[in-house]
Amino acid sequence: MSTEIHRGDTLDLARSTLTDEIERAAVWLPEQAPLSTFVHHNTLHHLEHLPFEEAVVVGSKMLRTAAFLSEETFAGHLRSGRIQRRDVEAVLDARTEQPGRLLFAQGPTVREFRGFRLRHFFEVPSGASLRWTLFEAGAATRIAKPVDELRRREILACGPEAECLLALWSTFERCAPPIRDTRARSPRWRDRLRDETGVDTDEWVHPLLIRLSAAFLDQGVAYWRMPGREKGFLAAFRSLYGQGAGPARRWTRGLPALLSAQEGRGFSAEETIEWALAELGVAIESRADYLRDTLLSLRGWAGMMHQLEQRPDRAPVVAPPARLVDYLAVQLTLDLVAAKACALDTLGFDGPLRSLTSRSPVDRAKRDGALAYEAFLLAQLSELPFERFLEPSVAQAWLEAVADFDSTQRRCALHLAYERRHRVEVLDALAIHSRETSPHSALPAFQAVFCIDDREESTRRHLEELEPAVETFGYAGFFGVAMEYRGLDDIRSRPLCPVVINPVHAIAEVPISSPEHDEYTKRRRWHGGASHSTAIGSRTLVRGGLASSLLGPLATIPLVVTVLFPRLAHRIAHWLEHLGIERPLTRLAIEADPEQDIEAALRSGYTIDEMTGVVASALRTMGLDQRLSPLVLVVGHGSSSLNNPHEAAHDCGATGGGRGGPNARAFAAMANHVSVRAELARRGTILTDETWFLGSYHNTCDDTMTYYDEDLVPRTHAGVLERAKKALAQACVREAHERCRRFETASLAIGIDEALAEAEQHAVDLAQPRPEYGHATNAVCLVGRRHRTKGLFLDRRSFLVSYDPTTDPDGARLAPLLLAVGPVGAGINLEYYFSFVDPTGYGCGTKLPHNIVGLLGVMDGHASDLRTGLPWQMVEIHEPVRLLVVVEARKAVLEKILAEQAGLMQLVKNGWIQFICWDPDSPELFVFEKGKPVPYEPESKTLPRASTSLDYYRGHRKHLPPARIGAGPLR
Mean pLDDT, residues 879-905: 97
Nearest to 951 by CA among 937, 965, 940, 962: 965
CA-to-CA distance for 494 and 868, rounded, in angstroms?
22
Query: Quick one: pLDDT band at residue 189, thresholds 50, 70, 90?
Result: low
Give 281's contacts (C-beta < 8 A, 6+ positions apart): 352, 353, 354, 355, 356
Instruction: Return the pLDDT at 663.
Output: 97
SS3 485: strand
SS3 215: helix
Q: What is the pLDDT of residues 78-95, one digit of tens each?
A: 999 999 999 999 999 999
Give the distance from CA 435 to its chain's centroid.
35
Query: Quick one: pLDDT band at residue 180, thresholds 50, 70, 90?
Result: low
Q: What is the pLDDT of residues 787-806, one digit of tens each?
A: 999 999 999 999 999 999 99
Q: Are strands 631-638 and 692-699 parallel, antiparallel or unpaired?
A: parallel
pLDDT > 90? residue 185: no
Q: What is the pLDDT of residues 463-484, one digit of tens each?
A: 999 999 999 999 999 999 999 9
CA-to-CA distance for 197 and 133, rounded, in angstroms?
32
Instruction: Return the pLDDT at 438.
Output: 79
Count Cβ atoms within 10 A of the Cβ of residue 779 and give its class: 0-12 exposed, 13-18 middle, 19 or more buried.
buried
Instruction: Return the pLDDT at 244.
Output: 67
Instruction: Return the pLDDT at 529.
Output: 63
- CA distances to 660, 674, 888, 917, 918 from 427, rounded to whole Å, are 31, 44, 12, 11, 9
CA-to-CA distance for 935 and 918, rounded, in angstroms?
10
**Among positive and negative, which fits the CA dihedral 909, 914, 915, 917?**
positive
- CA distances to 71, 472, 765, 832 from 877, rounded to whole Å, are 19, 28, 21, 10
pLDDT-above-70 percentage for the chain: 89
CA-to-CA distance for 82 and 494, rounded, in angstroms?
44
Nearest to 896 by CA among 821, 820, 823, 818: 818
pLDDT > 90? residue 376: yes
483, 630 contact by CB (below 8 A): no
Backbone angles phi, psi at 582, to 5 degrees: -90, 125
Exposure b/e, 647-672, CB count within 10 A at least 16 = b: bbbbbbbbbbbbbbbbbbbbbbbbbb
CA-to-CA distance for 771 and 765, rounded, in angstroms?
8
Exposure b/e, 788-804, CB count within 10 A at least 16 = b: bbbbbbbbbbbbbbbbb
CA-to-CA distance for 525 and 530, rounded, in angstroms?
8
Query: Quick one: pLDDT band at residue 579, thresholds 50, 70, 90?
Result: low
Characterise 203 by phi-psi region: left (phi > 0), alpha (psi -120 to 50), beta (else): alpha
SS3 855: coil
Instruction: Return the pLDDT at 10.
Output: 45
Query: Quick one: pLDDT band at residue 568, thresholds 50, 70, 90?
Result: confident
Mean pLDDT, residues 774-781: 96
Instruction: Return the pLDDT at 363.
Output: 45
Nearest to 163 by CA among 147, 137, 136, 143: 143
DSSP annotation of 57 = H
Nearest to 967 by CA among 237, 432, 276, 603: 432
pLDDT > 90? residue 13: no
Mean pLDDT, residues 957-971: 80
Q: What is the pLDDT of residues 505-540, one digit of tens each?
A: 999 999 987 665 666 677 666 666 666 666 666 666
E strand segments, 389-504: 446-451, 470-475, 483-486, 494-496
pTM of the model: 0.92
Instruction: Return the pLDDT at 353.
Output: 76
Of 513 and 16, more confident: 513
Query: Quick one: pLDDT band at residue 286, thresholds 50, 70, 90?
Result: confident
How are the residues of the chain apportioned to helix, strand and coil, as percentages rounded to the nearest 5?
A: 50, 10, 40
Q: Note the helical H segments in 435-502.
A: 456-466
> What's at 697, amino acid-wise?
Y
Characterise 951 by phi-psi region: left (phi > 0), alpha (psi -120 to 50), beta (else): alpha
CA-to-CA distance for 257 and 242, rounded, in angstroms?
7
Q: What is the pLDDT of residues 417-457, one digit of tens each?
A: 999 999 999 999 999 999 888 787 789 999 999 999 999 99
Query: What is the chain's mean pLDDT, rounded?
Result: 89
Q: What is the pLDDT of residues 683-720, one digit of tens each?
A: 988 898 899 999 999 999 999 999 999 999 999 999 99
Backbone angles phi, psi at 328, to 5 degrees: -65, -40
Quick count: other Cβ atoms within 10 Å of Cβ 257? 15
717, 692 contact by CB (below 8 A): yes
CA atoms within 13 A on the CB side of 800: 26
Instruction: Return the pLDDT at 124.
Output: 92
Per DSSP, the residues of 498-510 read -TT----EEEEEE
pLDDT > 90? residue 919: yes
Instruction: Return the pLDDT at 843.
Output: 96
Nearest to 465 by CA among 936, 3, 787, 790: 790
CA-to-CA distance for 745 and 769, rounded, in angstroms?
12
Instruction: Return the pLDDT at 578.
Output: 63
Q: What is the pLDDT of residues 194-248, one digit of tens each?
A: 777 788 899 999 999 999 999 999 998 887 889 999 999 999 999 998 876 555 6
693, 676 contact by CB (below 8 A): no
Exposure b/e, 441-461, CB count within 10 A at least 16 = b: eeebbbbbbbbbbbbbbbbbb
CA-to-CA distance for 150 and 157, rounded, in angstroms?
11
pLDDT-above-90 percentage for the chain: 69
Instruction: Return the pLDDT at 967.
Output: 59
Nearest to 760 by CA among 784, 779, 735: 735
